[in-house]
């Protein structure tokens, strides 16, 4: 077996190749991860719940399968975000309400990953019920950014992103409503993909046709994300939104490196302030597409209704999904969750009808926009990682925000139009903190998105910036 440090630094695709050739076993990978988690996670707090005993039993079963029948993941260990339930494993949802929950059944997505040879060895940290793009909760505390332990890892898939960046995972599961895959990818210098609604089947919650929330893959580079998306996808009759696997794998699509013809860049989507340094890093990264012969222009569709629309639909979803907890266990909920639910209680049918009409108009404008441009690029977050003690970003570039989620507009506007979107590393601030570039494709355009992102990742040369050891001070080595 290769040295543990060598394995930690490998890409997920390389690890899968080693598994398929039996140059390394799932058990050896679990040993490497258990050692790495013990070394670095006390400083980061990315993977608060471990289940290595369960994982080793799963590895025993996988190695009994004939070679070539071990699935896409072939015995690859994977952490699952603590909003998604895994049978027999503590699944808290980041809330004191479920601090001791051990579910009897797994989510549809977990079942699929295990069928594809994925081995669950940990649950990654998340804010309570995924509310807020800052990973902290009353059960496990805060997750810290490996690039600078004094900074936030963002959220709500902050534990997943921090685990990837620090070498505690090769692939990691996440989910996204208002940027929860894209924000932490940006803050931690990894890659996070929000797929089109329905691309990844999952157990429906209180809203069986929800298209605001999606499950998706995170990894250290574009091809690894594409590989993990292949393992996640497929139709399941228990999820009415789910769609079949495409004829071409997403990994093949990514490796095709088909460059777009014409793309648009916007520093702010016309709806939000952005830190000037972040905007400039993303602008420079986007314009480097020209090196592949791509036409780059500054443009964006009209997304002006995004704030009101998202606030309304998000509040409705919180009321439907968490209203019972508010009535029965309000004292156990954090203030931000209470605020979301109470906003939902104020809604009238007229407000909801207006929001649905706004979303339809936003979608039509975005589809028309993609008649002129193949992709839309913008910052994945409007700021560099802020102090971990800060619950959310209250202001940016001199502009105060009305609510604690307004700083997420640059990602939740894309959520509303059902486009797949990916965050890839774009560069570093003067402090040495990573900045992510968001690349957006037409609905169900994951193949084109991954191919283009791989082209730009090649050009930018930022594929091997992680894993890193936790850094108490800023600066790149």
Annotated catalytic residues are 81, 156, 180
Rounded Cα distance between 70 and 68, Å, is: 6
Rounded Cα distance between 47 and 219, Å, is: 15
Rounded Cα distance between 61 and 248, Å, is: 29
* Contact between residue 41 and residue 79 where contact means Cβ atoms under 8 Å apart: no
- Only one residue has tokens 């009238």, namely 348
Residue 268 has what DSSP assignment?
S
Question: Which is nearest to 275 in space by CA: 360, 169, 385, 173?
Answer: 385
Rounded Cα distance between 91 and 84, Å, is: 7
Classified as helix, coil or strand, 436 is strand
Distances (CA, A) of 366 to 230, 259, 311, 361, 423: 26, 21, 19, 9, 19
Distances (CA, A) of 378 to 248, 285, 440, 462: 28, 10, 8, 18
Cβ contacts of residue 380 below 8 Å, gap of 6+? 179, 182, 183, 185, 186, 410, 411, 423, 435, 436, 437, 438
Distances (CA, A) of 439 to 74, 196, 363, 410: 30, 13, 17, 11
Rounded Cα distance between 412 and 392, Å, is: 15
* Contact between residue 197 and residue 211 where contact means Cβ atoms under 8 Å apart: yes
Distances (CA, A) of 94 to 84, 142, 226: 11, 11, 28
Alpha carbon 288 to chain centroid distance? Answer: 24
Rounded Cα distance between 74 and 253, Å, is: 21
In the structure encoding, which two tokens stand for residue 223, read together?
């091809």
DSSP 164-179: HHTTS-SEEEEEESSS
């Amino acid at each position: 077996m290769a040295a543990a440090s060598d394995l930690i630094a490998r890409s997920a695709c390389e690890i899968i190749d080693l598994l398929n050739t039996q140059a390394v076993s799932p058990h050896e990978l679990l040993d490497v991860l258990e050692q790495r988690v013990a070394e670095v996670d006390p400083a980061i707090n990315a993977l608060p719940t471990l289940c290595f005993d369960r994982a080793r039993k799963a590895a025993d079963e996988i190695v009994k399968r004939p070679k070539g029948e071990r699935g896409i993941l072939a015995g690859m260990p994977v952490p699952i975000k603590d909003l998604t339930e895994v049978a027999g494993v503590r699944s808290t949802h980041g809330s004191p309400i479920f601090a001791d929950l051990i579910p009897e059944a797994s989510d549809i997505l977990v079942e699929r990953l295990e069928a594809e040879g994925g081995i669950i060895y940990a649950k990654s940290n998340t804010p309570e019920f995924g509310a807020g793009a800052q990973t902290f909760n009353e059960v496990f505390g805060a997750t810290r950014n490996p690039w600078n332990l004094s900074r936030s890892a963002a959220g709500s898939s902050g534990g997943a992103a921090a685990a990837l960046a620090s070498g505690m995972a090769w692939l990691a599961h996440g989910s996204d409503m208002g940027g929860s895959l894209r924000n932490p990818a940006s803050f931690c210098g990894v890659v996070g993909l929000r797929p089109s609604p329905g691309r990844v089947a999952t157990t429906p919650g209180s809203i069986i046709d929800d298209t605001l929330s999606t499950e998706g893959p995170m990894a250290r580079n574009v091809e690894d994300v594409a590989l993990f998306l292949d393992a996640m996808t497929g139709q399941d009759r228990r999820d009415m939104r789910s769609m079949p696997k495409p004829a071409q794998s997403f990994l093949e699509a990514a490796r095709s490196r088909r460059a777009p013809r014409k793309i648009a860049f916007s520093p702010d989507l016309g709806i939000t302030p952005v830190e000037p340094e972040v905007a400039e890093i993303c602008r420079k990264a986007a314009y480097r597409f020209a090196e592949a012969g791509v036409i780059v222009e500054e443009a964006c569709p009209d997304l002006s209704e995004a704030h009101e629309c998202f606030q309304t639909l998000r509040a409705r979803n919180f009321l439907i999904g968490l209203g019972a907890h508010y009535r029965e266990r309000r004292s156990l909920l954090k203030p931000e969750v209470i605020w979301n639910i109470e906003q939902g209680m104020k809604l009238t049918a007229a407000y909801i009808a207006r929001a649905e009409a706004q979303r339809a108009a936003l979608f039509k404008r975005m589809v028309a926009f993609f008649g002129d441009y193949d992709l839309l690029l913008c910052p994945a977050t409007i700021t560099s990682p802020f102090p971990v003690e800060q619950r959310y970003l209250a202001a940016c570039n001199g502009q105060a925000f009305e609510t604690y989620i307004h700083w997420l507009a640059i990602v939740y506007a894309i959520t509303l139009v059902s486009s797949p979107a990916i965050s890839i590393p774009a560069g570093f601030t003067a402090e040495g903190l990573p900045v992510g570039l968001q690349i957006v494709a037409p609905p169900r355009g994951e193949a084109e998105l991954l191919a283009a992102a791989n082209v730009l990742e090649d050009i930018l040369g930022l594929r091997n910036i992680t894993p890193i050891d936790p850094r108490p001070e800023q600066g790149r080595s």
